[in-house]
Amino acid sequence: MGNVRSYYEILRIAPEATQEDIERAYKRSIISLREKITAGNPPPPEMFAEIEAAFGTLRDAQLRAVYDRERASPPTIMTTAAQMAPASAPPVSPPPAFPRSGRRDDDADSQPRELHFAFHGSGGEYFRIWIVNLVLSIVTLGIYSAWAKVRREQYFHRNLTLDGAGFDYHASPIAILKGRIIAALLFGAFSASQHFHPVLHGVIALIVFLITPWFVYRALRFRAYNSSYRGLRFSFHSSYGEAFKVFVGYALLTVISLGILTPLWIREMHQYVINNLRYGHGELNCDVRAWSIFFVLLKAFFFIVIAFVLVGVSIAKHWLPPSIAGFAAAVAYLSVFPYVRMAITNRVWNSTLLDENTFSSTMRFGPYLGIVLRNLFLTVMTLGLYWPWAKVSLARYRAECTGLTMVGSLDGFMATAQENTGAFGDAAADIFDIDIGF
């Protein structure tokens, strides 16, 4: 076989290795590659392809037998056999290789697997982190908030798992703090300019408006780069022009259309975030339709109208006391926002792919509304102390309702070089209250 390494040499095992030996060697190889990625020294993609091809062949008894026969046969014998084979005899195919998507196209035994996310945190654990973050942020006049953010993100990332493996968050508090200082100075200049001259204030307001898409773009790059799954970091590939088109262009169209194009703007924002996200070489693609978002907003609008009409009639006809009718109207109004968020989230993730692998979201309005209303009530009654439990309960429900139908192996995604991104965009997005969370 010339100088080409055999699959046994790639996995560093003997030809007589058992299935357990093969699986252990594969795991060792993957762990070694992940450690190199984490250390900032990603190996070439060919190494992932070799390991995946070796494991995919040797773990299959039939493919391994064919591969062993080909290794044992001298080239001349193989050539002679090929020449002597009758025309009707099917040729012996070489062991299948893995394409870049992480699945084996020729593996008939590879069946889609239903993987589900899970969140393993608890309200009590997060309360201890939250209360320390809150106290230290107040004592340090906000300086500790950068460390608080890293601790919060690490807790929620590390307690979120998929297929038994957890996510992680790697941002540096110092990088976040530097970005926040710069963003705070910019925001301070914007606020102070209104006391000097209205023209100056208008000019600075226009500048902030024009660079806001840059904040969004940089924040998404920063957050993606500092998030990882199985040691492989995410990345975000976009440009200021794309962000400007979505967050300025479509926003202006929505205003000009008096809100009629709001579903289109919502669709574009979600697609901008998801379609520019990468996991290694794997590409995410969201193809949610604007009309499906339009129907969600239309149903919410009619629900509010009908609810307030019924409340008005009830008060006019004295069917209900005004206090009870007002409470019913408030509950109806507050119920609309969870419905819109839940319904759009379902539609977005049910329309999203990671290469050929499909996401799913199965949140239901009843359970979701129950969690939201309970969290709101208990947070108000405890003067905010229930907030950590509220965050954890929502994270757990969303994770339980989110899945990934996987073809092949998650380990098949190969690492790509990651760019070093700054924290300024992320901090500016926080200060200017831009909701761009994944």
- Which tokens go with 434? 């831009």
Torsion angle, alpha carbons of 274, 276, 281, 287, to 10: 50
pLDDT of 158 reads: 92
- pLDDT tens for the chain, residues 1 to 438: 446 788 888 888 998 888 888 878 877 787 777 667 656 676 776 777 778 778 878 887 888 888 888 887 755 444 443 343 334 333 433 443 333 344 444 444 456 788 889 999 999 999 999 999 999 999 999 899 999 999 999 999 999 999 878 899 988 898 888 888 887 887 888 888 888 878 888 888 888 888 889 888 888 998 998 998 887 889 899 999 999 999 999 999 999 999 999 999 999 999 999 999 998 778 899 999 999 999 999 999 998 888 888 878 887 777 778 778 777 778 888 889 999 999 999 999 999 999 888 999 999 999 999 999 999 999 999 999 999 999 999 999 999 999 999 887 666 664 444 444 556 666 656 554 443 433
Q: How many CB atoms lie within 10 A of CB 437?
A: 9
Sequence letter at residue 43:
P
CA distance linking residue 93 with residue 53, whole number of Å: 14
Span 73-129, pLDDT tens digits: 755 444 443 343 334 333 433 443 333 344 444 444 456 788 889 999 999 999 999
Q: Report the half-sphere exposure of 26 (CA within 13 A, side-chain side).
A: 22
Domains, the chain, ranges and CATH?
A: 7-84 (1.10.287.110), 113-169+256-424 (no CATH)
The secondary structure element, H or E, covering residue 193 is helix 173-193
Cα–Cα distances (Å) from 110 to 50, 349, 381, 406, in that order, read 18, 24, 52, 10
Predicted structure pTM score: 0.69
Torsion angle, alpha carbons of 13, 16, 21, 26, to 10: 50
